Amino acid sequence: MELIKILHCADFHFDTPFSELTGSMGEKRKEDLRETFGRTVQLARQEKVQLLLLCGDLFDNQGVSRMTINYLINKFKEIPEVYIFIAPGNHDPYHEKSYYHLVDWPDNVHIFQNTWEKVELEDLNVCVYGRGFTKPHYQESFLKGFSVDDPTKLNIMLLHGDVVTPGQGSDYHPITTEEIGASGLDYLALGHRHSCTEVTKQGCTSWAYSGCPEGRGFDELGEKGILLGELSKESCQLSFKSIAKRKYFELKIDISNCRTYEEIVARVLEHTEGMEPGKNLFKVMLQGELQEDFSLRTSVLCEKLEEKFYFLKIKDETITKVDPQLLAADFTLRGLFTKKMLERIEQASEQSGGQIREQVSGQTERKKGELALKYGLRILEQGEAGIE
């Protein structure tokens, strides 16, 4: 049987609200998603892909703009020679009021509904199976008891759902590897999980998650993209292609012994070198010990770095370093407060060495003590805590 070329993608989540971002940044990120889809279509055309598989959550919710719908229609029309299949997911289920039902999609687009469908592509000797969500939750497996009609053909399926271990539940169409292996499929294209997996084989069936093509928050870090390659009855040669316009990075940076904002700026830039800060989105957790006379304000630091970063969020996780020699001779209210808080922090540290429950409680109390010391000293010295 001849090889066919496919592009497997999922979880674009168009018109995500991007509530974590402020101002016009959310709208910019919505456009980034559209641009990433445009690059996906361009790649399908360049690589002469025959099947484009969209495995659910194309839309984030019902609040999709007409501009996004028009953009998708135009992009689909750019590749009329490509068979396009969509299996709606839990975020964008198929129903009478959904865009899948209301919009007049191009002729090369096929959208699966709630019942099993098989589309035979006689020119390719391929059968494409699929089934979509029609409500946000399904606690039963769509794949249970399924097997292909004709094992001699190249059989492909696209689904949105969770691959789980036997006995494990899920609200998002739980599938077991045993069901995958018994299906007789040659390839199962999956959506729902936002991280790409390696192509795995169960029985004669290869399966994989493509992950999301564009990260949408700091829970979706690093490279994002699609799966592209060739299929036949004998082989499944798919590889990951990074296609995201921007990436999310989360960094922990130790700024111990920094005594000025300039020193902190230099350390942040050193840690983000080569990561394209002017293009990508960063969340930086500042850690380590700072001298008690340095009252760090993240807003000041963000202002100093704003020209270097496309998006930067800074979290202050530093603790206050106290000079024990100065503290020993300090009998003021400030000194008494500091000694008391250091005692509490030490007690919490001892507690964190016990059983798991005691460890969690001790770590929580230690964190409370460290924050109380930091902000208490600010109030005593400056008259305000400066909490941002």
Q: What is the pLDDT along the chain (388 residues), one digit of tens a residue?
A: 589 999 999 999 999 999 888 879 999 999 999 999 999 999 999 999 999 999 999 999 988 999 999 999 999 999 999 999 999 999 999 999 999 999 999 999 999 998 999 999 999 999 999 999 999 999 999 899 999 999 999 999 999 999 999 888 899 999 999 999 999 999 999 999 999 999 999 999 999 999 999 999 999 999 999 999 999 999 999 999 999 999 999 999 999 989 999 999 999 999 999 999 999 999 999 999 888 778 889 999 999 999 999 999 999 998 887 765 566 577 777 778 878 878 888 887 777 655 566 666 767 888 887 788 777 777 766 666 666 7
Alpha helices in 91-189 (DSSP H): 99-102, 177-182
Report the pLDDT value the prediction gives residue 163, as an integer from 0 to 100: 96
User: What is the residue whose two structure tokens read 């798919």?
Assistant: 238
Q: How many CB atoms lie within 10 A of CB 384?
A: 10
Pair of tokens at residue 127: 């059968």
Integer CA distances (angstroms), 36 to 62, 175, 189, in order: 21, 29, 20
Report the pLDDT value the prediction gives residue 356, as an integer from 0 to 100: 60
249 has which bridge partners? 282
Q: How many CB atoms lie within 10 A of CB 380?
A: 14
Type of residue at 89: G
Pair of tokens at residue 179: 């069901």
Q: How many CB atoms lie within 10 A of CB 99?
A: 20
Q: How far apart are CA 52 and CA 156, in angstroms?
A: 12
53 has which bridge partners? 8, 85
Report the pLDDT value the prediction gives residue 384, as an integer from 0 to 100: 67
Type of residue at 251: L
311-316, strands of its sheet edge to edge: 248-254, 281-287, 311-316
The predicted model scores a pTM of 0.86
Pair of tokens at residue 359: 């460890």
DSSP letter for 140, please: S
Alpha helices in the chain (DSSP H): 25-46, 66-77, 99-102, 177-182, 261-271, 298-305, 324-328, 333-351, 356-382
Report the pLDDT value the prediction gives residue 328, as an integer from 0 to 100: 54
Domains within the chain, CATH numbers bracketed:
4-242 (3.60.21.10), 248-382 (no CATH)
Angle between helices 66-77 and 25-46 (to 10 degrees): 10
Angle between helices 333-351 and 356-382 (to 10 degrees): 170
239: three-class secondary structure by DSSP: strand
* Sequence-separated contacts (24+) of 340-349 with Cβ below 8 Å: 341/369, 341/372, 341/373, 341/376, 342/373, 344/369, 344/372, 345/369, 345/370, 345/373
How far is CA 381 from its chain centroid?
42
Report the pLDDT value the prediction gives residue 365, as an integer from 0 to 100: 83
354: three-class secondary structure by DSSP: coil
